[in-house]
Amino acid sequence: MLTVTGTPPDPEIGWANLQYPGSGTIEPGQEYIVYAQAWIADITGQVDPAVGLQSWIGFSLNDTDPATWTDWIPASYFGAAGSNDEFIADLGAQMVAPGTYYYASRFQYLDQEFVYGGYSTFGGGFWDGVANVSGVLTVMNEVITYPVTFAVTDATGLYSNIKFKGSMTDWEPVDMIQNNDLWSVTLDIYPGDYEWGVFEDDGSPLGIWLVIGPNLTMSVSAEGIVTGDTTYLVTFVGIEETRALAAVYPNPTSDFLTVSVADAIGTSDFYLVNSSGSVVYMGRMTSGNQVIDLRAFPAGMYVLVVKQGKAYTYTQVIKN
């Protein structure tokens, strides 16, 4: 009988990225925090950082393969992010001269080969220069801010103290102005990529987060062009609501949906919201029944919001 023993190979970094941000504009020496993540099966994402995993953020004046770069800043462990370990570094502290810089992440586990992380709006991955690319940082002697208005519609009518927060405010709460169900705030924002959301400040430490799914994202270019999400429809019910008497049928359906409201108070407004929180159809009922044609809508899950006076009904609708 022959027994062969040996040490199993060390696990390797199975995934790495440049998490956030994908671009930005700062003045020389201004803080610019960059986040990056890496994954090693059964090792990262634990209570403690993975032993032997190191990270850097590198930069170059040329948009080339990061493996050829020479300027790398050690990144510090920031915490577990799901099954990944996340690291951060202040890239801005190194940017003392105006210009356009490209940046990426670098990781090493034990004494293994370096791997490089790139950025994409889908979460990034190993740098390949196509789908996962280098971030772009513009350093200017004087950075101009641009006013951006964020508007949130409370389709539930349940909330009385909605506040804004995002990476552009260092995640500090900002009061919003209420006009019936519309809440808005205008902020002066530097060019760059940002995440944001809204919450109901109910006095608890974190409040009630009102965004369903990932944080909302938006960008401001160096020329002041705004892209991404600056509006949102709140459909999350985190507190008890007053329900209207509405019936919805057939459900699921592949074509027509009938909404029946008993004892209608004058007129009833209704909104059909998709899984991303966007209103895809709206109308007003002047009688007790309303037929909605869903034939042109993609199959999936929707929420039908019916508003009767100050009362609301929320019904999950499945389109086959």
42-79 tens-digit pLDDT: 999 998 999 999 999 999 999 999 999 999 999 999 99
Q: 29 CB contacts (<8 Å, ≥6 apart)?
A: 92, 93, 95, 96
pLDDT value, residue 4: 55
Helix ranges, the chain (H): none
Is 239:121 a contact under the CB 8 Å cutoff?
A: no
Q: Which residue has the higher pLDDT, 243 or 44?
A: 44
Q: Which residue has the higher pLDDT, 309 or 92?
A: 92
Is 161:201 a contact under the CB 8 Å cutoff?
A: yes
Q: Which residue has the higher pLDDT, 82 or 263?
A: 82
Structure-derived torsion over alpha carbons of residues 201, 206, 212, 216, reported in degrees to the nearest 10: 90
| DSSP conformational letter for 242 | P
Is 268:285 a contact under the CB 8 Å cutoff?
A: yes
Amino acid at 273: V
Domains annotated on the chain, with CATH: 15-139 (2.60.40.10), 146-234 (2.60.40.10), 246-319 (2.60.40.3080)
Confidence of residue 207 (pLDDT cuts 50, 70, 90): confident
∠309-200-154 over CA atoms, to 5°?
35
pLDDT value, residue 134: 98
% of the chain surpassing 90 pLDDT: 57
Q: Does residue 227 have a pLDDT over 80?
A: yes
Q: Does residue 274 have a pLDDT over 70?
A: yes
Tokens representing 146 are: 């641009």
Q: Does residue 241 have a pLDDT over 50?
A: no
| DSSP conformational letter for 94 | G
Tokens representing 113 are: 């080969």
Q: Does residue 111 have a pLDDT over 90?
A: yes
Mean pLDDT to the nearest integer, 210-218: 87
| DSSP conformational letter for 10 | P
What is the Cα 105 distance to its own chain's centre?
A: 20
pLDDT value, residue 262: 63
Q: Whole-angstrom Cα distance, residue 50 to residue 43? A: 6
Q: Which residue has the higher pLDDT, 306 or 199?
A: 199
Q: Whole-angstrom Cα distance, residue 208 to residue 205? A: 9
Termini Cα distance of the chain: 62
pLDDT value, residue 19: 93
